[in-house]
Amino acid sequence: MWRLKRRRQEVRPEVAGEVAAQAAVTVAPAQPDLESAAFFDVDNTMMRGASIYHFARGLATRGLFTTSDLVKFAVGQAVFRLRGNENPEHIAVARETALAFVAGAKVDDVVRLGEEIYDEVMADRIWGGTRALAQSHLDAGQRVWLVTATPIELARVIAQRLGLTGALGTVAETSNGVYTGRLVGDLLHGPAKAEAVRALARREGLDLSLCTAYSDSANDLPMLSLVGNAVAINPDSELREYARKHDWPVKDFRTGRKATMTALPFAAGVGAVAGGVAAGIALRRLYRGRP
């Protein structure tokens, strides 16, 4: 019986970061620059919208849950974004719904669905400007890693499809190829991203003062502040102001009124709430054999 139990858990960014670094797998050949790398957030930095939401949308097209479910989750997500209140309680909910996303599912099935849905839904939502920035690092012989709250299996699919070095993402516990419904560490969000980058740098022998990080959100200031070169991409208002005060480059690849963008499913933590719930419902139905 699929069930999601609400649990209180102490958030320990250093644990989540270390776990994410240990789970990081290089999916592209090593580059000649052994000391520097680039780290890219995914949601609204590399991709328009939240990757987990797009995954849920792909599941909806397969009839695994209703369009009205998807709309309900998207509207709730937009409300969170407009209020700007991605507080600890919301992050706790994000953690729990990240568990719902995979509980009881087979790892191989999630990876297969992720590959299919990336090609169908996500590929056209990659920001061309951000992709070009990533390619410029690769061309310079540097490694390029995605750093995201998205489950690591989906993050790896995105990295593979983009030809990047690899990905750091939220790690879910598995047993015999099936997700248990528990996280290893915690959601890779906020300070945990910085800890993951720090742990990966130790493992890979990187000099963080020579590295570059990119993000759209002030939630990623710990990661951005960790490296020698920080760049704000499609920034929220808080990150834009911080970047201005600290002379960080700002690149905005959006068009039209920025206010309209809040209607789209963004924020990594909130994205895990909406998309994770939707994907959890879909996968539950899949494994119960329901249409």
Which residues are marked as active site? 41, 43
Cα 223 from Cα 193, distance rounded (Å): 6
Count of CB atoms situated within 10 Å of the CB of 152: 24
Cα 193 from Cα 21, distance rounded (Å): 10
The tokens 């590959």 sit on which residue?
Answer: 115
Plot region of 2 (φ>0 → left; ψ -120 to 50 → alpha; else → beta) = beta
CB neighbour list of residue 240: distance below 8 Å, 6 or more residues apart: 232, 250
Q: Where are the alpha helices (DSSP H) in 24-105?
A: 51-61, 67-83, 88-102
DSSP label of 31: P
